[in-house]
Amino acid sequence: MTEPLERDLNRKTESSSTPAVQPPFGWRGIKTIAAALVISCIVLISLYIRVPDYGFYEDDYWAIVPYFKAPVSELWNNTYRQFLTWTQGRPLNHCVPPWFSRVGYGLGGLQGIYFLGFLVQSLNAFLVYLLLRKWLDHWSAILGGCLFVLLPVDTTHIFLEHSAQLHMSLTYILVGLLINRTRFWLLSYPIAALSLLSYETAFLPFIAFPLFFVDRKKRLIQWLTHLVICGAVLLTVFGIRLHLSDARATSVVSQPTDTLWRMVSSLWLGPETSLRILAKAVLQAPHSVSPFAFFFAGLGVILLLLVLRLPRELDGNAASTIRLRCITLFCAGVACWVFAYFLTITNYPPTQETGRLTSTHLAAVFGLTCAIAAVTGYFRSFADFRPKATATGIMTCLVALFILYAFHIQNGFAAAWTIEKRFWREVVELCPDLTIKTRVILVGIEPAQDKFIQSNSWADPLVLGEIFTFSPAPIFFYYDGMGPAADIRFENGQVTWKPFFWEDKRETLDLGDLIILQDNGEQISRIPEYRIAEIPFPLHSKELATNGAQPAPKRLSDFGRFLLLDRR
């Protein structure tokens, strides 16, 4: 018979009388360290190889950029305030990212913040490995950890705000699931419940997964206990949100039929979409990427294959028992994958295939990872070389393809930041006469956006305020994209509007301190006047003095210098 892929270095022949020499920490400890290194390398390769080319995007402008050097007292006050007001019903959503930004920027500027993102992604993948190792062989468990960051169903791993917020909600439930398997299982519930204060859909796998791993003799009581505690946690959080008049919680109560339809229909729309994303990723992965990407995909394959050379621990269970565990894990994974879409209410329908809103699939990645790893572990449990080699080979190739596709995503984030820098440099160069009250209105077509992350977004009105140090700050507004949301009115001889359209506050537009820019999608120009539908007369740009100077560097914030002066 052909030799198996792994050599069992722990196996001793009957004639051997000398005990095998063990490393100081034992082979299990060595293999755990090796798993952490391999998983961290895969995270680095698939998400952060192009980190020097990354910047800030979309939600980063409210959650990350304003807090680079925020005083610790301000962060504590914000944390305290969030737990009093529960903004959007998610206090951790609005207090963790500022701390994330402050700590990361203190460690090493922009690169320091991305380093924290790397730690979050690596930690989550390693926690998945630790969890799967309870049922699967070492290699299959490492595969699961790698797939947790490689599966392209959720393409927001690089996005800083999501690393600090949404992906940390997965950290809470992964830690909870690990503790749930110990004698301290009661502690798992408050830890997992933290996800409800950050991103509620992440809590759903914590409800479903433990149901498949209970003591058969105590199955009914353990099911009932688990579901009652989870139900109590959900009702408590929902009750607090209702008490504080959270809009999302109120809509659930006021529109029960629509809410129920969204919850039920998401159970098939979400899984169908995630399968479609996986199929497209596999087909698109080898195309339009550089040899650079193929090199790192090959490096990832080598790392996985090197793991096979580590000593194999004998399971001690019959092959049928091992395979039964794999089947149970597969069922648990599929259940978590489907059930993860049950709370898709706000971002309904869960059919997003690229971009920031693929975070809708965030919790589903856990179940999908468990299911794929379980199938791999099932076939690797056979003594016969052929099914084991086939499963190992197929999954290794799949990892290579997903790494290649990850470079599509990395390239998208890098390209988006290049577009963003060029756009804001043009805006600032065309507006050297900005004052604290200036309002810059852009009309026409904004630059083409990358499908994985936007260069221009709802957050554009915040950007000028982050570029310059003066306060209050000038405001930029894209009329053709956000005009209706600003609710522009002409009444009592004045023009009023809501440039920060997500707030209720209105302001009077100073028609004498207005700059109008026009974009054709390739170049921006300053125009003297423009007529909009809401006002019965044209708006005029203030005249630009011929000797107008560019804003002095001292008036630029740290972010402004990074955005406008960094020529990489």
Can you give the length of the chain in residues? 568
**pLDDT at residue number 525:** 95
**pLDDT at residue number 8:** 41
Query: CA dist 390 to 145, 298, 398, 454, Å?
Result: 20, 18, 12, 40
**Are 10 and 312 a contacting pair, CB within 8 Å?**
yes
- Nearest 10 degrees: Cα torsion 47, 136, 130, 193: 90
- SS (HEC) of 93-133: HHHHHHHHHHHHHHHHHHHHHHHHHHHHHHHHHHHHHHHHC
**Are 401 and 282 a contacting pair, CB within 8 Å?**
yes
Cβ burial, residue 194 (10 Å; 0-12/13-18/19+): buried
**pLDDT at residue number 568:** 63
Crossing angle between the packed helical segments 26-47 and 385-430, to the nearest 10 degrees? 40
**Helices vs strands, H then E, count in the chain:** 19, 9
Which amino acid is present at 86?
W
| b/e code 513-536 from CB counts within 10 Å (16+ = b) | ebbbbbbeeeebeeeeebebeeee
Which helix (H) or strand (E) segment is 326 a member of? helix 319-339
Tell me how far apart the alpha carbons of residues 44 and 123 are, in angstroms, rounded to a whole number: 12
Tell me how far apart the alpha carbons of residues 346 and 143 are, in angstroms, rounded to a whole number: 32
- Sign of the CA dihedral running 229, 234, 238, 241: positive
First to last CA, the chain: 57
Q: To which residue do tokens 């004052």 refer?
A: 435
Structure tokens at 334: 């599929």
Angle (nearest 5°) at CA 390 between 386 and 395? 155
Question: Strand pairing partners for 507?
Answer: 497
Q: To which residue do tokens 């980063």 refer?
A: 60
Query: CA dist 383 to 158, 379, 389, 421, 553, Å?
Result: 40, 9, 11, 57, 68
Tell me how far apart the alpha carbons of residues 88 and 247 are, in angstroms, rounded to a whole number: 7
Domain spans of the chain, in order of start: 26-414, 431-565
CA-wise closest residue to 124 among 366, 374, 326? 366
CA-wise closest residue to 27 among 325, 391, 324, 311? 311
**Are 416 and 446 a contacting pair, CB within 8 Å?**
no
DSSP string for residues in 20-34: PPPPTTHHHHHHHHH
Q: What is the mean pLDDT of each run of 10 residues along the chain (568 residues)?
A: 39 40 65 95 97 96 96 96 92 96 95 97 98 95 97 96 96 97 94 95 96 91 96 95 88 90 96 97 93 95 91 71 94 97 92 94 97 96 91 96 97 96 94 92 92 94 92 92 92 93 92 94 92 92 70 73 82
Q: To which residue do tokens 């979409």 refer?
A: 273
Tell me how far apart the alpha carbons of residues 197 and 233 are, in angstroms, rounded to a whole number: 11
**pLDDT at residue number 159:** 97
Q: To which residue do tokens 């560019």 refer?
A: 550
Task: State residue 220 phi and psi, 5-degree precision.
Answer: -65, -45
